[in-house]
Structure 1
């Protein structure tokens, strides 16, 4: 009976999640998302660019603590504060009332809630339909991953000529949602060679002052299958921070050989690893165990390996999951999950409880794999809260962590943990009374700041 209820609830969430994402994407295709949103913000704000290195942002809503009824958290206390921002950092926090520093430009947040900057830690900026006319993916029923790879081989030559511009469009989209940090997987394959990487690097260079991004060299067509070991090594020399991989059994048909080749590139280049592992068969579990074994034997890989998706973890018994999670945590191995809805229920809370760092990302944004990506990390927190029953004030506020790299305004005891003087001035302003409301309602964001720079939206200029 419990399983039937659980399956029914997941099916419902699958439907409602798709509706929410579709609504979030309304009007965003064709590359108009940022422009339309910015126009809305501009109608309510005077300033869409701040040129000063030292300024004050007043009327910023910050969380002060939890309201309680006994041991139950019933609400969140907030107050209006002024952030003094200088040289990309929060130089000081000023409570409302006291005299502010003289001679410093003043801007107003108009009571908007400050949330820590969002981090999109699994996205493919290099290949997307975003920015062009609407195009739904072809039917996936009955298609294998090898079928999808064959399709992509035909699509890549069509996408490459505009991939730099479309990457810039995706950067603008996720900035509008509050994300200014990302990890982008970038195709390294026989069709595009190193061109996708070259185009992505050009796009990122144009936004180097407003957006931080790590690149994963991703052998989308299989490291062994497509024979790209040499290209992968060139990609690492071009600045990729992580060696990618893909389903070593289903795609490369040689789990140990494929993983060994991936890890060898990482060891030789001194870089990290971030592998796509979709396999849910026993081979997927074997791959996870083999990767943990490899890290244990190679201390240079500790704290440098991410397993993206890791769906095989859903197949483990509670005892096996506990053992695997403990080993992942002991070796500093992270999990990047898109918080999937539907049939697979990733054990994300169990992993976090065991000390495994769990992060989330967009993955696809309107491409030949999926049309549902909105680029919104706050939406991922919303899905996380629904899937793992975080409907109360306390757990809603905790769900935000998956979107911010673990940074939360309040710690577990309700004491302010962020922002503090000396922190980087990276945050987003949301139309919400507290982070719990922001998560539950996926509240609109009006401005995004990165290292003190206003990179999306607008704020009001204080009258002199």
Structure 2
């Protein structure tokens, strides 16, 4: 494998133009990119000559976009590689958790196998970073964690990851806090939590326990927050207080957070400002059919709150649906919110890429740059706006200048 090569005929976005009708169009141009040791070291325009004798790989004018970050997932829960089974309907979250507990031991032995298939699927769609929550509970202890770590390690060099120790069946019960600490000593990298009101029935006690574990291990935090209305709002507001007290700015996230969309606009504005001040991120899976209000993502974005999308678990005891394509979440959100013009479609890509877009909000080229990692998803598309609207298939995923070999999805 040569350490230096040229990617020729790469389409990149370079700006935007206004048509006489006032419509914005994205401008693109063709470039040749020199890659050395996994990084971009030179960019030439289409008409500039490449030095003779150097390896070239013709990208045939495919559009390069940033790779994706899958920021809310459950690698340990999927049924992938197992025989088909649909979900058993339930009437409450507690009933779902009870049914899940019944099959945990049955599934634990295949955790590595199932997680490996899910990682292959995510990577095939373009996700090169995965944040996975892994059950840590009295039923299986560390078994799921061991399987997920083994699966992720087999993708070393192609996939980076966060592993959240996740108390799916409640943090304030039995020996779960001790198990959470054991998980962080054995490969978990983040601390999770679940519904301090609805599951733990003790908002402050649950939140302080989460932060105590986090500060003990110097670990970041990502809490599942399904609790709705003003109960959920109070929980989020209290968490921001705790983050400020612990000086944990920029190190925590709240997943789902439907409650932020349940309250009046004034309260949405107030808590968005507080989330921004303490840099608490929001992770959304853009669910449909729940009869729930989504968090106010565009409002949060205007306040500078970091928002990320993820696929959640898919094909598991919670839902038979899902593909593993985080871009699909951007498309769904854009469609739900009538983001139909070139610029708003284009800017929506950031929710799949961890904030990286080829053009900024003013239409200036900001990616890729010399010394950036040569990490790309190559697609046949006119612009990232088309990518978001149409979700092109046949994506070619490159990490550190090398194409990733993935079984066909």
TM-score range, shorter chain: over 0.9
The aligned counterpart of 2:152 is: 204
Root mean square deviation, CA, Å: 1.6
Mapped partners of 2:324, 2:238: distance in 1: 32
Task: Select the residue among 210, 226, 231 that pairs with 1:283.
Answer: 231
Counterpart check, 1:256 vs 2:215: no
Task: Select the residue among 293, 304, 315 that pairs with 1:366.
Answer: 315
Counterpart check, 1:119 vs 2:66: no
CA contact (8 A) 2:77 2:317 kept: no
The aligned counterpart of 2:271 is: 324
Which of 269-278 and 53-62 deviates more? 53-62
Q: Once the 2 structures are TM-superposed, how far is the Cα of residue 204 of structure 1 from its aligned partner?
A: 1.2
CA contact (8 A) 1:449 1:456 kept: no
CA contact (8 A) 1:85 1:425 kept: yes
Task: Select the residue among 173, 194, 200 that pairs with 1:225.
Answer: 173
The aligned counterpart of 1:152 is: 100
Q: Once the 2 structures are TM-superposed, how far is the Cα of residue 71 of structure 1 from its aligned partner?
A: 9.0
Q: Once the 2 structures are TM-superposed, how far is the Cα of residue 252 of structure 1 from its aligned partner?
A: 1.1
SS in structure 2 of the partner of residue 418 of structure 1: coil
SS in structure 2 of the partner of residue 406 of structure 1: coil
Mapped partners of 1:372, 1:58: distance in 2: 39
What is the correspondence of 1:34-433 to structure 2 with a 5 Å cutoff? 51-69=1-19, 72-140=22-90, 142=91, 144-299=92-247, 301-342=248-289, 343=291, 344-433=293-382
CA contact (8 A) 1:176 1:445 kept: no
Taking structure 2 as the reference length, the TM-score comes to 0.96
Mapped partners of 1:227, 1:455: distance in 2: 41
Which of 335-344 and 348-357 deviates more? 335-344
Deviations 1:414-440 (A, max 9, x none): 121111111111110112111001110
Mapped partners of 2:211, 2:145: distance in 1: 20
SS in structure 2 of the partner of residue 313 of structure 1: helix
Mapped partners of 2:230, 2:46: distance in 1: 58
**Greater relative contact order structure (CA < 8 Å, 6+ sep):** 1
Deviations 1:316-344 (A, max 9, x none): 21111111011111001100001223432
Specify which structure has the higher proportion of helix. 1
Point out where structure 2 has 5 or more consecutive residues left out of the alignment.
none
SS in structure 2 of the partner of residue 92 of structure 1: strand
